[in-house]
Amino acid sequence: AQSVTQPDIHITVSEGASLELRCNYSYGATPYLFWYVQSPGQGLQLLLKYFSGDTLVQGIKGFEAEFKRSQSSFNLRKPSVHWSDAAEYFCAVGPYSGGYNKLIFGAGTRLAVHP
């Protein structure tokens, strides 16, 4: 069955420290992969996506993610975290059917940033 696992429910980092949020997926073919961020009381905003090509993907707000097929992972990274990055982060996998664009979401990782 298709699934997305985000092993870390909650992460706390200091401002200026580096960040890595883990995402593992289970999918029968090459997936389309996404990272979304959700600030309190808000909807989800797309940070970056991987469809094909270069496995290192650059996104908005200084985030990047690397697709590793051998590890079924799509970890999100940022070299220096800002206080405004405190939010909940969701990894998602999407099979492209040309019709029903279904996304399967992980349970999310809540990021806290210490000053």
Which of 11, 13, 44, 86 contacts another protein by CB under 8 A?
44
35 is a site residue for another protein (CB under 8 A): no
Check: CB of residue 47 under 8 Å from CB of residue 36.
yes
Residues 85-114 that bind another protein (CB under 8 A): 90, 94, 96, 99-103, 105-108, 110
Question: Where does this chain touch another protein (CB under 8 A) — which range of 11-19, 21-29, 44-52, 55-63?
Answer: 44-52
Contacts to another protein by CB under 8 A:
4, 9, 32, 34, 36, 41-46, 49, 51, 90, 94, 96, 99-103, 105-108, 110
